[in-house]
Structures are given as structure tokens and as C-alpha cells.
Amino acid sequence: MRVLIVEDEARLARNIAKALRETASYAVDISTDGEDGRHQALSNPYDLVVLDLMLPKVGGLEILRDLRRRGNRVPVLILTARDSAQDIVQGLDTGSDDYMTKPFDMGEFLARCRALVRRTYDRPDPVVRVGELAVDISSRVVTLRGRPIPLRAMEYRLLEYLALRAGQVVSRAEILEHLYDFNAETFSNVIEVHISTLRKKLDAGSPGTLIQTIRGLGYVIRETPV
Ligand code: CA
């Protein structure tokens, strides 16, 4: 999953980004002014936008209005010091999906982010099950036939994305867009490498393979391995 944080308090933005990367395994981009934030939000397929309201150049509500007017459906969580009931109503009525006021609890913030992402992928249950695979996106614990599978951060991020989109063929371009932030250094076969290590861990002792390669199109996880 990939998140955009539009926040002009650089330290707060960094703290949020660190928490999202480390505890939710999200790729994170940061914009520190409204103009850049709007541009980024419109140019990349984010899974979530965390939006401050009082921003240099372009305010958060204006960004939100622009996104929705253009038909952009990205989940938006407003994170702001503006805490009056009137502000909250206005934020939600402008098209935000959630609203949190500063100061805030990081654990609650992260849980709200996960809930918004689950909803985007139409997964109300935090444990995503695909056949005998279970991916708990709250705890990031992966089990196969009840056995825990230890994964590295990028392997987890990739498997979670494929599991959330189970049954659909996911292209390399989509994987790159949704799992890597702007500053990530990717090499040409980075996805193949992660797929290969995931297969070693997931297919051990099984005659089939859980993650199928669809030549020229991408990868898919299905209920029944082949
Ligand atoms: Ca601000």
C-alpha cells in the first residue's frame, strides 16, 4: 500500500511516515505544501491520503474538493488541529472519509488508516483469507495451513497486496506504483526477486505454486494453487 502525507510540519510528517512504514508496512510519500500535495495526489494511485487542512499555498479542503470533483476516489483522512464540530462536519461533507484532530494517538491513527485501506479493497475482515493462506493485516502475521510464515518487510508488503486483490491479475506496473515510494531505489527485476523468495517460503512442501505468473501480464494468487 502507498500513502501520501500532506503535512507542513516536517517533524510530524516524518513521525507519521515512520510509523506507517514500520507498523503498517506502507510505502509513504510526503508533501509539505498544498500545491505539491495536490499534484502528487492527482498523479499517483495512492491507497490513502493523510491530509492536513492548514497548509502553505493551497489549503487541505481545496485539495479535497479538487480530488472529488475530478472523480478521484482515494480514501482521505483529514488530520488537523481544527477541532470544532463545524470543521469536522465541513471536512466530511467535502468528501473526506475520516477526520482526526491533533494531538492524536498514533495507535488510533494507524488503526484508522488500516480500516480505510481495508474498505478500499472491500475487505471488512482484517484477516484476508485466500484458500489456505491467511494474511492478518492488523498484526501482519501470515499463516499457511495454520503454520506461521516469517516474511521480510517487502515480502509481506507484496503478499498483502496480492492477497487483497486475490483472483485478479496484478501487473508489475501496479505493484511498483502501490508498493514503492518515490525515493525507493528499485532495480529492474526487483519484483521477480521478491516473488521468488516468497515462493520458496510459501510453496515449500507443496506440489503447486501459490503465486502464479501470468506471462506478459503479471501475477495472481488464487484460492486453489496450481
Ligand atoms: Ca498545517
pLDDT tens digits along 42-64: 999 999 999 999 999 999 999 99
Residue 110 and residue 72 in one domain: yes
State how far the Cα of 213 lies from the Cα of 195, in Å rounded to an integer: 9
**27: CB partners within 8 A, 6+ apart:** 1, 2, 3, 21, 157, 178, 179, 180, 181, 184
Of the listed ranges 2-16, 27-41, 177-191, the one predicted with least confidence: 177-191
Residue 135 and residue 109 share a domain: no
CA 14 to ligand 1 centroid distance, Å? 14
pLDDT digit string (tens) for 179-215?
A: 999 988 888 789 999 999 999 999 988 888 999 999 9
Q: Please give the residue range of the domain that contains residue 76.
A: 2-120
80 Cα: distance to centroid of ligand 1 (angstroms): 7
The pLDDT assigned to 160 comes to 97
Task: Read off the pTM.
Answer: 0.94
Q: What is the pLDDT of residue 96?
A: 98
In a domain, 62, yes or no: yes
Q: Examine the fold and report which residue of 120, 137, 167 is the final residue of a domain before the chain moves on.
A: 120
Q: What is the CATH number of the domain that holds 42?
A: 3.40.50.2300
- Say if residue 137 is in the same domain as residue 201: yes
Residues 46 and 26 in one domain: yes
Average pLDDT over residues 124-135: 96
**Closest alpha carbon to 176 in 41, 39, 44:** 44
52-102 pLDDT per residue, tens: 999 999 999 999 999 999 999 999 999 999 999 999 999 999 999 999 999
Is the pLDDT score of 177 beyond 90? yes
pLDDT of 224 above 90: no
Q: What share of the chain has pLDDT > 90, as a percent?
A: 92
Rounded Cα gap, residues 9 and 202, in angstroms: 42
Contact present, 133 and 162 (Cβ < 8 Å): no
- Number of structural domains the chain divides into: 2
Same domain, 82 and 142: no
| pLDDT at residue 187, rounded to an integer | 80
pLDDT at 226 over 80: no
How many angstroms separate the alpha carbon of residue 31 from the centre of ligand 1? 11
Domain with residue 162: its CATH number is 1.10.10.10
Residue 226 lies in a domain: no
> What is the distance in A from the centroid of ligand 1 to the CA of 35?
13
- Ligand 1 geometric centre to CA of 12 (Å): 10
Q: Ligand 1 centre from 27 Cα, in Å?
A: 22
Q: Which residues contact 61 (CB under 8 A, 6 or more apart)?
A: 53, 90, 91, 94
Total Cβ atoms within 10 A of residue 93: 8
